[in-house]
Amino acid sequence: MARQTGLIKLRGTLDNVNFYKTQDGVLARMSTSIDAKRIATDPAFIRTRENGAEFGSSAKAGKVVRAALRPLLLLASDGSVVSRMMKVMTSIKNYDVTSSRGKRNVAAGINHPAAKELLKGFNFNERSNLGSVLAKSFSFVQATGEVSISDIIPLNDIAFPSGATHATFQSGWAKVDFVSGASDLQLSPAISLLIDETEQNISLIPASAPTGSGIDVYVFCIAFYQEMNGVQYPLKNGAFNALSIVEIQ
């Protein structure tokens, strides 16, 4: 993909070259004269239609996950999360060994153990992933969705941004159905720790098991705040917060 680096910023089409703005700058690509109706009906484009159908199915699956975890994504996500998750979902779709070409989907592919591993560890905020924020191991209990940390010293064990006075921890357990698009999310109570040298234990247990069918998605979130006059304020709209999938079942 060509990238525009000159002083003049163009948008639109010039000499069959289409200029458009993205978060990575102004990009350029050759425009096509192929009619959309021809792509939809011409036998020569059957592979294109099949690829398009699977692309759309994978995009929808990523949207289902993001919608299920929306309360936590409001705390921690970045501008590339849609495209990054789309890439993972496309790979998961490839594990569907029962559907015909053009109909492979995430709902069938996710049942493969290797497909689940692709989604496990996904960080919704690439600018601040969980592994770089938390320098302390945590344990996980699948039966209850509990995430726990023993003997954590916030000042030593957390990579906190300048100005942060508190770190808030929360876990979530979601049931996600890729077939129907339905989901249910259960969150643990949030635990806020003063960033000091006090050693503490943390236990995050969702209120209950989520209802419905589908796969189980377990997540862990760390968010930073600055306390002023007894009120905790978020830092830069969550730019430093971390949210990661810790397990898929």
Asked if pLDDT for residue 14 goes beyond 90, the answer is no
pLDDT score, position 13: 56
Res. 187 pLDDT band, cuts 50 70 90: very high
What's the pLDDT at 19?
A: 66
Task: Say how far apart CA 224 and CA 134 lie, in whole Å.
Answer: 12
The tokens of 224 are what? 């930073």
Q: 112 near 143, Cβ under 8 Å? A: no
CB contact at 8 A, 164 and 240: yes
CA-nearest of 195, 249, 182 to 222 is: 195
Could you tell me the pLDDT band of residue 108, with boundaries at 50, 70 and 90? confident
Residue 243 and residue 74 in contact, taking contact as beta carbons nearer than 8 Å: no
Among candidates 63, 73, 68, which has minimal Cα distance to 183? 68
35 confidence band (pLDDT: 50, 70, 90):
low
pLDDT(199) > 90: yes
- The predicted pLDDT at position 1 comes to 46
Return all residues near 21 (Cβ < 8 A) that are at least 6 apart.
9, 11, 27
